[in-house]
A and B are shown apart, each in its own frame.
Chain A
């Protein structure tokens, strides 16, 4: 059974750097074709894809946020970490991590999400 869970601060100040960790089980990020992505959703708004890392350490970033994002993986710990620099109140959102299925080519298993508020 595949599960994912996001963790990190619930409150960050403007200009600070956000670091979120996705801890997963039920699959290995060293298996060919596997990927883990991050998606966010501001309150009452639409989903927005942020970044994805593949089993081979290939990384993809949203073009509009690429300069602020870094995604890394620790295969031994079954974790994926997302950092986002220069946080702003508009970055207030629920942040989800999700498993990219190599057959479906998109996200099937999602974490429960973690709400991050940006405020001074």
Chain B
């Protein structure tokens, strides 16, 4: 099984801050990594696929990078609508999610 480890688990930030979330895979997954945003009581929303491809309609302040085992999600300037929980997910071998990173208001 491929394990996904996200850090940090919780992140306190202010509007306008640059935010970075890290995701590590237990073995190489090439670029088969997605990032999702989830708000309370809602289904996850796909933000980025193939590690760095921005899904249509997602604001350009979101970006992803990495390959192999190390990946990052960056929000260049945090907006009020961005306070949520973010999950990485590998789909190189089946599908595995990270444990999530909650971005909360500082």
Residues of A near any B CB (own CB < 8 A): 37, 39, 46-49, 52, 60, 62-64, 96, 98, 104-108, 110-113
Specify which chain B residues have a CB less than 8 angstroms from the CB of A37 in the assembled complex.
95
Q: How far is the CA of A62 from the CA of B44 in the complex (A)?
A: 19
CB neighbours (8 Å) of A106 from chain B are 34, 46, 49, 89, 91, 95
Pick from A62, A98, A110: contact of B94, CB below 8 A.
A62
A64–B1 touching, CB < 8 Å: yes
Nearest Cβ distance between residue A63 and chain B, in whole angstroms? Answer: 6
CA distance A110 to B95 in the complex (A): 15
- B16-24, B67-75, B76-84, B96-104: which lies at the A interface? B96-104
Q: Mark interface residues in B29-53 (1 if CB within 8 Å of A CB, else 0).
A: 0001010101000011010011000
Q: Verify B87–A47 contact, CB threshold 8 A.
A: yes
* Bound Cα distance from A104 to B43, whole angstroms: 18
A-B contact pairs, 13 of them (CB 8 A): A37-B95, A39-B95, A46-B98, A47-B44, A47-B87, A49-B95, A104-B34, A105-B49, A106-B91, A106-B95, A107-B95, A110-B44, A112-B43
Q: A106-B46, A111-B43 are in contact. Are A48 and B97 (CB under 8 A)?
A: yes
CA distance A5 to B55 in the complex (A): 23
Taking CB atoms, residues of chain A closer than 8 Å to B94 are: 49, 52, 60, 62-63
A90 to chain B, nearest CB (A): 16
- Distance A70 CA – B85 CA, assembled complex (angstroms): 30
A47 contacts across to B, CB distance below 8 A: 36, 38, 44, 87, 89, 97, 100
Q: Which of A46, A48, A113 contacts B43 (CB 8 A)?
A: A113
Asked if residues B97 and A46 are in contact (CB atoms below 8 Å), the reply is yes
Chain B residue contacts of A112, Cβ below 8 A: 43
